[in-house]
Structure 1
Amino acid sequence: MKMAHTCVRVKDLEASLAFYQKAFGFEEDRRRDFPEAKFTLVYLTLPGDGYELELTYNYDHEGYDLGNGYGHIAISTDDVAALHKVHTEQGFEVTDLKGLPGVPPSYYFVIDPDGYKVEVISNR
């Protein structure tokens, strides 16, 4: 077995696509529109990575309650400090660069248009 995808429900498909493409370089792999059922699925991938992020857009839905059980998705990078600087300069909502106790700073979070947290971590 292997991981296939993670789904996030979005209220503005175009805003979410723009965020994930600009912030992380996601590319649209495929799109499935179901007008009779009133939803669209867009599958995004990172270059060289087969794992997918599925954006689900339900027509005429005003937004979603994220609740307190959802955590985050994580994306790794070779230079977390440089990407933190880029995300800050691009005007995204980002947290400070942090580290676990006794560990140098190695992660931060970017908030997407729907309020989902995307953790950016250093490659191992």
Structure 2
Amino acid sequence: QWDDHEVRDNWYDARPLERDTRYTEKRMALLAARARRAFLDYLPIAIDGDEPERIYRSRRYGKGLEIFAWDMRSYRGANSPNRQATLTAESMILGAEQMAWLKRSLRASTATWKVIASDMPIGL
């Protein structure tokens, strides 16, 4: 499961690293791209042939089970106190494209059991 620790704890693309002496590379986007490449190259996950860089995916196990794995890091807004009264681009976690994929995929799935794998605890 893709997680924020693949790059740096609580990372997001615009997070500044200039004052963090532990890193010689200061560009978070480059660190994230390297982490994504390592994740895709070395973890035994099913890769989408049409979108080989995409981390969110689903996997079917027989007639009864389909697992949907979210990517709750790549499409989120910058970290904040998360006290927004309404959903905005800043407070989104999944992004519009991934959410549309999930809704479409859940509707299309004929599996008896549909499991959503999340790398972060969520409350519904």
Q: Same fold (TM over 0.5)?
A: no
TM-score calculated relative to the size of structure 2:
0.24
Structure with bigger helix share is: 2
TM-score calculated relative to the size of structure 1:
0.24
Greater relative CO, 1 or 2 (CA 8 Å, sep 6+) = 2
